[in-house]
Amino acid sequence: MVTQSRMGVLFVCLGNICRSPTAHGVFETLVAAQGHDGWLTVDSCGTGDWHVGEQPDQRAMTEAGKRGVALSHLRARQVRENDFFEFDYILAMDRANLRHLESIKPSSFQGHLGLFLDYAPEPGIAEVPDPYYGGEEGFTQVLDLIEDASQGLLQALIDAR
Protein backbone atom coordinates (compact mmCIF):
# COMPACT_ATOMS: atom_id res chain seq x y z
CA MET A 1 0.00 0.00 0.00
CA VAL A 2 1.30 3.45 -0.87
CA THR A 3 1.27 5.91 2.03
CA GLN A 4 0.11 9.31 0.84
CA SER A 5 1.19 12.38 2.77
CA ARG A 6 -1.25 15.13 3.53
CA MET A 7 -1.14 18.52 1.90
CA GLY A 8 -2.04 21.65 3.87
CA VAL A 9 -3.64 24.82 2.54
CA LEU A 10 -3.85 28.00 4.62
CA PHE A 11 -5.94 31.00 3.52
CA VAL A 12 -4.89 34.36 4.90
CA CYS A 13 -6.57 37.78 5.05
CA LEU A 14 -6.35 40.68 7.48
CA GLY A 15 -8.94 39.96 10.18
CA ASN A 16 -9.79 36.28 9.54
CA ILE A 17 -13.48 37.10 9.87
CA CYS A 18 -14.54 37.83 6.27
CA ARG A 19 -12.47 36.63 3.29
CA SER A 20 -10.19 33.87 4.58
CA PRO A 21 -12.83 32.05 6.67
CA THR A 22 -15.08 32.20 3.61
CA ALA A 23 -12.33 30.64 1.49
CA HIS A 24 -11.70 28.11 4.29
CA GLY A 25 -15.36 27.04 4.38
CA VAL A 26 -15.93 27.05 0.62
CA PHE A 27 -12.75 25.13 -0.13
CA GLU A 28 -13.24 22.67 2.74
CA THR A 29 -16.79 21.98 1.52
CA LEU A 30 -15.60 21.45 -2.07
CA VAL A 31 -12.76 19.18 -0.93
CA ALA A 32 -15.14 17.03 1.12
CA ALA A 33 -17.81 16.92 -1.61
CA GLN A 34 -15.26 15.62 -4.09
CA GLY A 35 -13.77 13.12 -1.64
CA HIS A 36 -10.35 14.76 -1.19
CA ASP A 37 -10.53 15.33 2.57
CA GLY A 38 -8.39 12.25 3.15
CA TRP A 39 -5.26 14.05 1.96
CA LEU A 40 -6.05 17.78 2.14
CA THR A 41 -6.03 19.88 5.32
CA VAL A 42 -7.61 23.35 5.18
CA ASP A 43 -7.26 26.26 7.61
CA SER A 44 -7.35 30.06 7.68
CA CYS A 45 -5.92 32.92 9.72
CA GLY A 46 -5.40 36.68 9.71
CA THR A 47 -2.27 38.79 9.71
CA GLY A 48 -3.95 41.04 12.31
CA ASP A 49 -5.08 40.11 15.82
CA TRP A 50 -8.13 42.36 16.36
CA HIS A 51 -10.72 39.60 15.97
CA VAL A 52 -8.93 36.59 17.47
CA GLY A 53 -11.46 34.10 18.89
CA GLU A 54 -14.43 35.58 17.02
CA GLN A 55 -16.83 33.84 14.66
CA PRO A 56 -16.82 34.97 11.03
CA ASP A 57 -18.67 38.20 10.24
CA GLN A 58 -22.45 37.62 10.14
CA ARG A 59 -22.61 38.92 6.55
CA ALA A 60 -20.03 36.34 5.43
CA MET A 61 -21.90 33.55 7.24
CA THR A 62 -25.20 34.59 5.64
CA GLU A 63 -23.79 34.78 2.11
CA ALA A 64 -21.93 31.48 2.47
CA GLY A 65 -25.04 29.85 3.94
CA LYS A 66 -27.02 30.79 0.82
CA ARG A 67 -24.53 28.67 -1.11
CA GLY A 68 -24.67 25.71 1.24
CA VAL A 69 -21.45 26.48 3.10
CA ALA A 70 -21.38 26.65 6.91
CA LEU A 71 -18.82 28.95 8.57
CA SER A 72 -20.18 29.08 12.14
CA HIS A 73 -17.68 26.52 13.49
CA LEU A 74 -14.71 28.73 12.54
CA ARG A 75 -12.90 31.06 14.97
CA ALA A 76 -10.41 33.74 14.03
CA ARG A 77 -6.74 33.34 14.81
CA GLN A 78 -3.57 35.19 13.89
CA VAL A 79 -0.85 33.77 11.66
CA ARG A 80 2.04 32.19 13.58
CA GLU A 81 5.53 31.10 12.59
CA ASN A 82 4.62 27.43 12.82
CA ASP A 83 2.14 27.89 9.96
CA PHE A 84 5.13 28.01 7.59
CA PHE A 85 6.14 24.54 8.77
CA GLU A 86 2.65 23.05 8.83
CA PHE A 87 1.20 24.28 5.52
CA ASP A 88 2.39 23.66 1.95
CA TYR A 89 0.28 26.35 0.29
CA ILE A 90 -0.19 29.70 2.01
CA LEU A 91 -2.56 31.84 -0.03
CA ALA A 92 -3.18 35.52 0.64
CA MET A 93 -6.37 37.32 -0.31
CA ASP A 94 -4.56 40.49 -1.35
CA ARG A 95 -1.11 41.90 -1.98
CA ALA A 96 -0.87 43.76 1.35
CA ASN A 97 -1.34 40.53 3.28
CA LEU A 98 1.02 38.72 0.90
CA ARG A 99 3.71 41.33 1.63
CA HIS A 100 3.15 40.85 5.37
CA LEU A 101 3.53 37.08 5.00
CA GLU A 102 6.69 37.48 2.90
CA SER A 103 8.15 39.69 5.64
CA ILE A 104 7.70 37.03 8.34
CA LYS A 105 8.36 33.92 6.21
CA PRO A 106 11.19 31.78 7.61
CA SER A 107 13.99 31.34 5.07
CA SER A 108 13.56 27.56 5.35
CA PHE A 109 9.94 27.67 4.07
CA GLN A 110 9.71 25.19 1.20
CA GLY A 111 6.09 25.67 0.23
CA HIS A 112 4.16 28.00 -2.05
CA LEU A 113 3.31 31.50 -0.85
CA GLY A 114 1.17 33.51 -3.25
CA LEU A 115 -2.19 35.07 -4.10
CA PHE A 116 -5.28 32.88 -3.93
CA LEU A 117 -6.81 34.40 -7.07
CA ASP A 118 -3.85 33.19 -9.13
CA TYR A 119 -5.92 29.99 -9.24
CA ALA A 120 -9.03 31.69 -10.66
CA PRO A 121 -9.88 30.52 -14.19
CA GLU A 122 -10.37 34.08 -15.50
CA PRO A 123 -7.35 36.29 -15.09
CA GLY A 124 -8.22 39.89 -14.29
CA ILE A 125 -9.03 40.38 -10.63
CA ALA A 126 -5.87 39.62 -8.67
CA GLU A 127 -7.11 40.38 -5.16
CA VAL A 128 -10.23 39.54 -3.14
CA PRO A 129 -11.47 43.03 -2.14
CA ASP A 130 -11.85 43.69 1.59
CA PRO A 131 -15.65 43.74 2.17
CA TYR A 132 -15.54 44.70 5.87
CA TYR A 133 -16.46 48.37 5.60
CA GLY A 134 -18.80 48.01 2.62
CA GLY A 135 -22.28 46.67 1.97
CA GLU A 136 -23.65 43.20 1.44
CA GLU A 137 -22.88 43.24 -2.30
CA GLY A 138 -19.20 43.12 -1.36
CA PHE A 139 -19.77 39.75 0.30
CA THR A 140 -21.56 38.45 -2.80
CA GLN A 141 -18.51 39.35 -4.88
CA VAL A 142 -16.19 37.74 -2.31
CA LEU A 143 -18.16 34.48 -2.57
CA ASP A 144 -18.17 34.60 -6.38
CA LEU A 145 -14.39 35.11 -6.57
CA ILE A 146 -13.68 32.48 -3.93
CA GLU A 147 -15.93 29.83 -5.52
CA ASP A 148 -14.22 30.28 -8.90
CA ALA A 149 -10.67 30.20 -7.52
CA SER A 150 -11.45 27.19 -5.29
CA GLN A 151 -12.21 25.00 -8.30
CA GLY A 152 -8.92 26.02 -9.93
CA LEU A 153 -6.96 25.55 -6.73
CA LEU A 154 -8.33 22.05 -6.13
CA GLN A 155 -7.44 21.00 -9.68
CA ALA A 156 -3.92 22.45 -9.27
CA LEU A 157 -3.41 20.53 -6.00
CA ILE A 158 -4.65 17.28 -7.54
CA ASP A 159 -2.20 17.81 -10.42
CA ALA A 160 0.66 18.59 -8.02
CA ARG A 161 -0.06 15.65 -5.77
Residues that bind ligand 4NP (CB under 6 A): 13-19, 46, 50-51, 130, 132
CA distance 135 to 32: 30
Residue nearest to ligand 4NP (CB): 15
Count of CB atoms within 10 A of residue 9's CB? 25
User: Pick the catalytic residue: 18, 19, 43, 94?
Assistant: 19
Please indicate whether residue 43 is annotated as part of the active site.
Answer: no
CB of 26 to ligand 4NP, least distance (A): 13
Angle at 149 between CA 100 and CA 96, to 5 degrees: 15
CB of 55 to ligand 4NP, least distance (A): 12
CB of 92 to ligand 4NP, least distance (A): 10
Please indicate whether residue 59 is annotated as part of the active site.
Answer: no
CA distance 20 to 30: 15
In terms of CB distance, is 111 or 131 closer to ligand 4NP?
A: 131
CB of 24 to ligand 4NP, least distance (A): 11
Cα torsion for 116, 92, 144, 160, to the nearest 10°? 20
User: Pick the catalytic residue: 67, 88, 130, 161?
Assistant: 130
In terms of CB distance, is 48 or 152 closer to ligand 4NP?
A: 48
Q: Which of 153, 145, 125, 143 is nearest to 56 (CA)?
A: 143
Residue 91 DSSP symbol? E
Please indicate whether residue 13 is annotated as part of the active site.
Answer: yes
In terms of CB distance, is 17 or 64 closer to ligand 4NP?
A: 17
* Coil/strand/helix, residue 32: helix
Give me the residues paired with residue 114 across strands.
Answer: 91
Which residues participate in catalysis according to the annotation? 13, 19, 130
